[in-house]
Amino acid sequence: MDPLVLTYLAYLSFTVPITLWVGTTLKSNGRVFLMDVFDADEELADAVNRLLVVGFYLVNLGYVLVALKTTNTVDDLRSALEVLSMKVGTIVLVLGVLHFVNLIVLNRLRRRSQTSTAAIGRPPVAPDLSWSPPGVPA
């Protein structure tokens, strides 16, 4: 079999499971974070979590497929490993960057939610009802 085809198969056998593993991890651990962002609204948190995971899979698996093609010549094991390491390394870096971008966006949503909740609803400090102005008997 052509060494380039073997390199492509090895690339897919590494990148697809890595993408699936990261997506599964994000889905299971992201729920807790989203519950905090959406004030314990389970239905909304689960819906957003599913949408984020679907988007994650679409972007990452799409990139895996787009990045499959190489212009490098693969004649031997050394060149195959070099191409493979560059491709898998790129995918892992892209997954990491997208993960951190996701965290930044969700953290901003969380802060915005906490700020709006604090601004409406209750005063920042409970009033002291036992206090009276100077000169006025209590």
* pLDDT digits 0-9 by tens, 58-110: 988 898 888 888 888 888 888 888 888 998 898 889 888 888 887 887 788 77
Give the chain's count of helices (H) and strands (E): 3, 0
Q: Indicate the average pLDDT of the chain.
A: 82
> In the prediction, which pLDDT does 129 show?
66
pLDDT attached to residue 17? 92
* pTM for the full predicted model: 0.66
Torsion on CA atoms 24, 25, 27, 31, rounded to nearest 10: 160
